[in-house]
Amino acid sequence: MGKIKKIQNDCHRATYLIEKGQQTPLSIGERIELVIHLAGCGICRLYKRQSRWISQALRGLFHASAGHGASLDEDVKREMQEKINERLP
């Protein structure tokens, strides 16, 4: 399979690049690879829009709660820590 065909058909890689691009700048090669894929894949274009929307909504929630001194209840914290400890080797 040619390089262009592989890029066009690799949705797993595209979703990785979409998420990576929200956290750090993509290299030129990664940006080109993603643009080529998105040009032919409507599902990944939709994924990119939805992922961006979810990230913005979460950032808004975290910023809003940080300004109000929101914190977890001590019982919730204890339950979370117990679940973490149960799964640790």
pLDDT for 18-66, tens place per residue?
999 999 999 999 999 999 999 999 999 999 999 999 998 888 877 766 6
Element (H, E) at 49: helix 42-67
User: Which pTM was predicted?
Assistant: 0.63
Q: Which domain holds residue 40?
A: 3-87
Task: Give pLDDT, residue 17.
Answer: 96
Quote the CA–CA distance of 82 and 53 in Å, as a whole number: 32
Q: Using an 8 Å Cβ cutoff, are 38 and 11 in contact? A: no
Task: Give pLDDT, residue 83.
Answer: 87
Gyration radius of the chain's alpha carbons: 19
Dihedral, 26, 29, 33, 39 alpha carbons, nearest 10: 80
Task: Give pLDDT, residue 86.
Answer: 86
Quick check: 1 pLDDT over 70?
Answer: no
Quick check: 13 pLDDT over 80?
Answer: yes
Total count of domains within the chain: 1
